[in-house]
Amino acid sequence: MTKSALVVEGGAMRGIFASGVLDIFMKNEFMPYDFAIGVSAGASNLLGYLSNAPQRSFHVITKLATHKRFFNIPRFAKGGDLVDVKWLIDESNIRHPLDLDTLFSSIPMYAAVTNIDSGHADYYQVKENNLNDVIEATTALPIAYKSTPCFSGGCYTDGGVADSIPVKEAYRRGARDITVILSHPLSYEMKAPKSSWLITKLLSRYPQIAKAMLVRADNYNLSLEFIRNPPEGTTVRVIAPPEDFAVKRLSMKSPILMEGYQMGVSAGLNHLSSRDGTFGLDTENCHFCI
């Protein structure tokens, strides 16, 4: 039997799109996967999905991630965190407690983190004894979050630095039917950083992370190439925002976030329709939607 996986990209506030998709999946009790892998906000979205908590991610993004206790430019200017990841995790768990029994009786969930010593991605299975550590690590934006989460003998930063779309990791783990929820429209390709010297300077304490940031665009685009041209015998189903998706990494305005969420809801409905043959959608008339 073909093993299937769900991969959810991060992208900070862009994660509002995936939250809409996954809310539709929950509403329709749709979970045909053997395991899931998330990165950064994508991992946070998966927590809501796998614990069957509709709109948890929506509220975390629209109410907590827009709160000045989380995102604070004056604090950053004074040498503090631009984003307080630990506060966001703790406050999310207080306001929207996870059903751990449901979460850990669901399919296995993995999260990508970037090892600060190697600059490469490590993939942790999320378990009850490492839940907060892994989620903090996978969402610990370099520079914007001053803390360096350390656990299990290593120290880490945002998984998106080394592997923003872990579709190859899903393949390596045996999946041959992979569904990917992206945070950018299908036309997007990441461009190389313009100020490589600045990245090297800002991350001088972590030279391997600086190197990983400098090749991040190349790795990201290679993942897109894998998605567009998967190995023989592998199906990759893509759910991506439409071209007019206006949410940026640090978008804070409620109307923009609401519109992005509704785009995710629509994309989730379209995906389910394509999976069950409704509307006659297939590979001939719905590129990348099945």
Rounded alpha-carbon distances, angstroms, from residue 44 to 109, 133, 219: 11, 12, 22
The single-letter DSSP state of residue 60 is: I
Q: What is the DSSP letter of 144?
A: T
Domain 3-276 falls under CATH 3.40.1090.10: yes
For the chain, where are the alpha helices, taking DSSP H only? Answer: 15-27, 41-50, 56-59, 73-77, 85-95, 100-105, 131-138, 167-172, 196-202, 207-214, 216-228, 254-276
pLDDT at 276: 66
Q: What tokens does 26 get?
A: 């929950």
The pLDDT-based confidence of 138 (bands split at 50, 70, 90) is very high
> Rounded mean pLDDT of 22-27?
98
Q: Which of 19, 158, 183, 223 is catalytic?
A: 158
Question: Which burial class, exposed, middle or buried, applies to 98 when counting CB atoms under 10 A from its CB (0-12, 13-18, 19+)?
Answer: middle
pLDDT tens digit sequence for 250-267: 999 999 999 999 999 999
Q: Domain limits of the chain?
A: 3-276
Q: Is 23 a catalytic residue?
A: no
Active site annotation includes 158: yes
Nearest CA-CA partner of 180 in 156, 163, 157, 192:
163
The string of pLDDT tens digits covering residues 110-124 is 999 999 999 999 999
Kindly tell me the sign of the dihedral angle through the C-alpha atoms of 141, 6, 16, 104. Answer: negative
> pTM of the entire structure?
0.92
Which residue did the predictor score with more confidence, 146 or 93?
A: 93
Amino acid at 255: P
d(CA 181, CA 192): 23
Mean pLDDT of 186-207: 84
The active-site residue, picked from 4, 19, 40, 92, is 40
Terminal Cα-to-Cα distance of the chain (whole angstroms): 19
